[in-house]
Copies of this chain bind each other. A is one copy, B any other.
């Protein structure tokens, strides 16, 4: 998601320039944006009401109709954007996001794909792409991820290695928790979140393997420490950014002052030189 957006005002290179420009003005208008936000909100409420049996019984037809209308509006919106921006449409991560969210809803919902029907509510996330302040928040969150890259790699490595060890040691006796690498990964994730780690898992395991704590306690300490450092990386990153701006402002003020001083001195030298020549 680069956030790069098709530059508005740039004339699309088609033949029917007048119509295209009008379409672009229409789709980029503030009123249109506000209308789309309203449609998203109404659609979110409709999809929420659809989960209630009583609401379905009383005005189920209305809810389906409203959902279809909202979907139609989204399809038209994206179609216009595709016509106006063409290839450039897909250079914005947000547009791709909108496109996928809406496209998913158009997939014919076969019986066994009822999961996809449940995902229609994901359209509410279009609020993120439509409201500039939400885009900013999401981009700030995403910008923190690269700084965490290598720590996440380390954490994954610790998880994989621990899962293989746990499966080998405890898998035979506790198949529900450590029967496979996948089951162990889930159990270790639960243990990392400290949920029922002792009463639920480690104490029972220690009934069979009294020294199991030698594995689990260091695992908890290690993952907590790594996660803590993940947090710190984000905090330091955020702090640094807010600091840099501030420092720059300060530095600028001092630099301006110093530049003025040098200017003064330079002028003085010129005057002096001029005085000598007199």
Binding site for B on A (CB under 8 A): 44, 47-48, 51-52, 115, 117-119, 121-122, 124-125, 127-128, 133-134, 136-138, 140-141, 144, 150-151, 153-154, 157, 160-161, 163-165, 167-169, 171, 180-181, 186, 189-190, 193-200, 213, 217, 220, 225-226, 228-229, 231-236, 238-240, 242-244, 246-247, 250-251, 253-255, 257-262, 264-269, 271-273, 275-276, 278
Contact = CB atoms under 8 A, between A and B. Distances in A.
B265 A141 contact: no
A168 B264 contact: no
Contacts of A157: 124-125, 127-128
Report copies per complex. Answer: 4
Given A157-B127, A242-B240, A258-B257, A48 B164 contact: yes
A122 B161 contact: yes
Given A196-B199, A268-B272, A229 B262 contact: no
A190 B228 CA distance: 19
Contacts of A195: 194-199
A86 to B, nearest CB: 31
A236 B236 CA distance: 9
Nearest to A154: B137
Contacts of A272: 268, 271-272, 275
B250 A247 contact: yes
A219 to B, nearest CB: 12
A31 to B, nearest CB: 22
